[in-house]
Amino acid sequence: MINNIFKTLVLASCIALTVAGGASAAAPAGSTSISSEQQGLHQWQILGGKLVLINGTYQDVLTYKRSLTFYFESKPGEEWMHVPVLDGDKRHALTWFSISQGEQTVADAAVVARANGIELVIAETRPRVVAPIAVEWYRFTESGDDDTDGPAYYFKKISTKNYPANAKLTVEQVLKQEVAAKMRK
Domain boundaries, the chain: 25-184
CB distance 72 to 81 below 8 Å: yes
Report helix, strand or coil for 51: strand
pLDDT tens for each residue of 107-142: 999 999 998 999 999 999 988 777 899 999 999 999
What are the residues facing 34 on neighbouring strands?
Answer: 111
pLDDT tens for each residue of 33-49: 999 999 999 999 999 99
Angle, alpha carbons 60-110-184 (nearest 5°): 155
C-alpha–C-alpha distance, residues 171 and 173, integer Å: 6
Say what the pTM is: 0.80
Q: Residue 180 is inside which H or E element, if any? A: helix 171-184
Which one, of 51, 72, 22, lies nearest residue 117 by Cα?
A: 51
Share of the chain above pLDDT 90, in %: 49
Residue 24 clears pLDDT 50, i.e. is over it: no
Share of the chain above pLDDT 70, in %: 80
Question: Could you write out the three-class secondary structure of 75-113?
Answer: CCCCCCEECCEEECCCEEECEEECEEECCEEEEEEEEEE
C-alpha–C-alpha distance, residues 158 and 120, integer Å: 10
pLDDT tens for each residue of 152-169: 899 999 999 999 988 889
Phi, psi of 167 (to 5 degrees): -70, -20
